[in-house]
Amino acid sequence: QKEVEQNSGPLSVPEGAIASLNCTYSDRGSQSFFWYRQYSGKSPELIMFIYSNGDKEDGRFTAQLNKASQYVSLLIRDSQPSDSATYLCAVNKGGGADGLTFGKGTHLIIQP
């Protein structure tokens, strides 16, 4: 089982709708979870981070964490064409090691 798994997509969503991105992870001891957005040819930029079970909202973005089920999701409300990008889920390494373990990313396309 891969450490961090995401559906590669593409995920196509109409403009103005809610985009839902999902991520599962294998290390039950993981404590910190991050969502990054990456435009083609650019470096990742941080969108959200979440440490506790439940929801965390920031503007149009909501991160959801369920540690018991080992999944984290990102909801984007009122999707805009500028949200079209690859979204990377990252989980803090456990077991005393440092660094983030990344999924391969979900390619999101917002259709005007």
Partner 1 sequence: DGGITQSPKYLFRKEGQNVTLSCEQNLNHDAMYWYRQDPGQGLRLIYYSQIVNDFQKGDIAEGYSVSREKKESFPLTVTSAQKNPTAFYLCASRFSIGTEAFFGQGTRLTVV
User: What are residue 54's phi and psi, to 5 degrees?
Assistant: 115, -160
Question: Which helix (DSSP H) or strand (DSSP E) does residue 75 occupy?
Answer: strand 71-76
What's the rounded Cα separation, in Å, for the pair 98 and 92?
Answer: 7
Q: Which stretch binds partner 1 (CB under 8 A): 41-49, 54-62, 64-72, 77-85?
A: 41-49
Least distance from partner 1 to the Cβ atom of residue 95, Å: 12
If one asks whether residue 13 binds partner 1 (CB under 8 A), the answer comes out as no
Length of the chain: 112
If one asks whether residue 104 binds partner 1 (CB under 8 A), the answer comes out as yes
Which of 14, 18, 39, 45: binder of partner 1 (CB under 8 A)? 45
